[in-house]
Amino acid sequence: MPASVSAYAAASATSPLAPFTIERRDPGPHDVVIDIEYCGICHTDLHLVRNEWTHSRYPIVPGHEIVGRVSAVGSEVRAWKPGERAGVGCFVDSCRTCESCCDGEEQFCLEGMVTTYNGLERGTQKPTYGGYSKRIVVDEHYVLRIPESLDAAQAAPLLCAGITTYSPLKRFGAAPGRRVAILGLGGLGHMAVKFARALGAEVTVLSHSGRKREDALRMGAHEFVVTEDPKTLAKHAARFDLVLDSVSAPHPYGPYLDLLRRDGTMAIVGLPPRPEPLAANSLITNRRRLVGSLIGGIRETQEMLDFSARHGLAADVETIAIAQVNDAYDRLARGDVRYRFVIDLATLT
Ligand code: NAP
Ligand code: ZN
Ligand code: ZN
């Protein structure tokens, strides 16, 4: 018998999140049952709840920054025991046989990853529901080990904001001797600052106002630049090896590409809801590269969690009760969060 589980869902793009009951499947032989303790609020949750990317399915139970404790395991599971701390990120299944899956890049599964919410289960085609809920059942291959040295609430945002920034920083060369700029100091951006610093790069934060200067420096940035004034930005032209763009709102790419030195790379992780024109000249000059990056595979996510524990890194969080979630969304939309809301699921009864 599938179990009824308390959750919070939005019924439509204009409905607030409200109490809702979902069913979680009985654990199959390879499933892990996780009682959820904390779930981060990613800006993707807001984009999807409000259907800003136009492919939302309702009712929608968001949440893909999940940390909890294993409460039961399937008969074939050897790697997990009840009581252990476990995490779930942005996807819960994939085909496991395609080139991307075999390379440990399940987020690019050729049959499509099954997202933790707003997706459809392989086989049953039932909707997937995320971490704004008391419990989740996930195949062991997609469950992450959260080091016990990390605070559970502060670790939750690593499952999306952490891996989404760690992966492109490593791949595109955040390292000693490299100048890295982080555009947008939000949930993703503040993790990017911490990782870029831990990887040994010289780190600059590009923020649209001066309000986060002290925070940025405290997090490890060497420099802070306000992007509002084009003249200030122009002073930093052709300076950086890597710009990581984590901005959620529509913005032009040209002024930030212009900050790249010869052979520099701008990596986009922010996903604003509308396309942006691009002048070829910004790329041709200095032979610049513009790339995108999508979360990261299971293997790299585990590497990032272990790296975080080794370096004592985690998110700056504001823990909230589930009843505050709609206020938190309004604040997130306004950019009023320092730097990730995390829901304490003990408050969902
Ligand atoms: P967030 O916490 O809301 O941060 C976004 C930041 O963008 C803000 O803190 C703000 O930083 C900056 N910003 C600049 N102009 C803005 C404006 N007009 N309004 C609001 N913010 C503005 O969001 P997040 O959770 O980090 O997510 C950022 C984006 O990445 C979202 O689009 C999300 O969907 C996407 N995302 C992508 C992936 C992926 O795999 N590629 C994974 C997760 C999320 P300043 O105040 O410093 O300017
Ligand atoms: Zn996310
Ligand atoms: Zn695959």
- Whole-model pTM: value is 0.98
Ligand nearest to the CA of 44: 1
* Per-residue pLDDT reduced to its tens digit, 43-62: 999 999 999 999 999 999 99
Answer for the pair 154, 314: CB distance below 8 angstroms, yes or no: yes
Which residues are bridge partners to 73 per DSSP? 32
Say whether pLDDT at 69 is over 80.
yes
Ligand 1, atom nearest to 185 Cα:
47
Distances from the Cα of 154 to the Cα of 78, 127, 233, 309, 322, angstroms: 28, 28, 33, 11, 17
Q: Is 315 in the pocket of ligand 1 (CB under 6 A)?
A: no
Say whether pLDDT at 330 is over 90.
yes
DSSP H or E run through 221 = none
Residue nearest to atom 11 of ligand 1 (CA): 184
d(CA 253, ligand 2 centre) in Å = 22
d(CA 280, ligand 2 centre) in Å = 30
d(CA 107, ligand 3 centre) in Å = 8
Ligand nearest to the CA of 272: 1
Say whether pLDDT at 108 is over 90.
yes
Give the residue, out of 246, 274, 293, with the most ligand 1 atoms within 8 A of its beta carbon, to mutate for a pocket test.
Answer: 246
Residue carrying the six token digits 């476990």: 86
Q: Is 174 left (phi over 0), alpha (psi -120 to 50) or beta?
A: beta
Please tell me the predicted confidence (pLDDT) of residue 93: 98
Question: Angle formed by the axes of helices 298-311 and 161-171, to 10°?
Answer: 90
Please tell me the predicted confidence (pLDDT) of residue 230: 86
Please tell me the predicted confidence (pLDDT) of residue 229: 87
Q: Is 196 in the pocket of ligand 1 (CB under 6 A)?
A: no
Q: Is 247 in the pocket of ligand 1 (CB under 6 A)?
A: yes
Residue nearest to atom 44 of ligand 1 (CA): 44
* pLDDT (average), residues 286-302: 98
Q: 117: helix, coil or strand?
A: coil
Say whether pLDDT at 1 is over 80.
no
How close are the terminal C-alpha atoms of the chain, in Å? 21
Q: Is 183 in the pocket of ligand 1 (CB under 6 A)?
A: no
Ligand nearest to the CA of 111: 3
Helices (H), the chain: 43-49, 99-102, 152-155, 161-171, 187-198, 213-219, 230-234, 254-257, 280-284, 298-311, 325-333
